[in-house]
């Protein structure tokens, strides 16, 4: 979850999540991890983006089990998504996505969110945003993936 929020925060487009998903639940550990790089992130979202809601998963045994393979944020996010019967889980990390899918969760990453935002007319052309993410945020994507993303939105 960290990368998706980092990307949308950098682009100053966390509002996209409200339009696409209405409520977004974030485990406290993910907010802690985000605040390590973005001080006051928790305060920013609570004041400007109240639809982003903080909640801990209650199944700590599941979190512990997931921690054998994943980092704390991914583990908590998957456990919370299962608990809430979430429609979709925001996650870019490949290991986390694989485990989430094994547990019956649908996942989407930062690029998927941007594709949906573009398809829904929430943002303009993707190419400049992708270039900015690569050059300024050091967001890695292969050239093949970049072209697939752009093709998916007709660019």
What percentage of the chain has pLDDT greater than the value 70?
99
**118: pLDDT confidence band, cut at 50, 70 and 90?**
very high
pLDDT grade for 126, boundaries at 50, 70 and 90: very high
Which is it for strands 24-26 and 52-54: parallel, antiparallel or unpaired? Answer: parallel
pTM of structure: 0.90
For the chain, give the percent of residues with pLDDT over 90.
70
pLDDT per residue over 54-64, tens digit each? 999 999 999 99
Orientation of helix 143-152 relative to helix 110-119, angle to 10°: 30
As a whole number, the mean pLDDT across the chain is 92
Query: For residue 39, is pLDDT > 80?
Result: yes
Strand pairing report for 107-108 and 89-90: parallel
- What does residue 107 show for φ and ψ, rounded to 5 degrees? -120, 160
Delineate the domains of the chain, giving CATH numbers in brackets.
2-110 (3.40.50.1010)
Q: What is the tens place of the pLDDT at every residue in 40-49?
A: 888 888 888 8
pLDDT at 1: 61
């Amino acid at each position: 979850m960290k990368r998706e929020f980092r990307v949308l925060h950098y682009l100053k487009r966390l509002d996209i999540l409200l339009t696409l998903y209405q409520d977004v639940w974030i485990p406290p550990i993910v907010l802690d991890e985000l605040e390590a790089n973005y001080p006051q992130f928790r305060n920013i979202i609570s004041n400007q983006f109240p639809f982003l809601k903080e909640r801990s998963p209650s199944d700590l045994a599941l979190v512990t089990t997931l921690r054998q393979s994943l980092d704390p944020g991914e583990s908590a996010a998957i456990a919370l998504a299962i608990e809430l019967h979430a429609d979709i889980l925001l996650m870019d990390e490949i290991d986390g996505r694989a485990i989430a899918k094994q547990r019956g969760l649908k996942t989407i990453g930062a690029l998927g969110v941007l594709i949906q935002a573009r398809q829904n007319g929430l943002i303009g052309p993707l190419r400049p945003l992708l270039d900015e993410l690569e050059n300024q945020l050091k967001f890695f994507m292969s050239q093949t993936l970049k072209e697939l993303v752009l093709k998916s939105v007709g660019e």
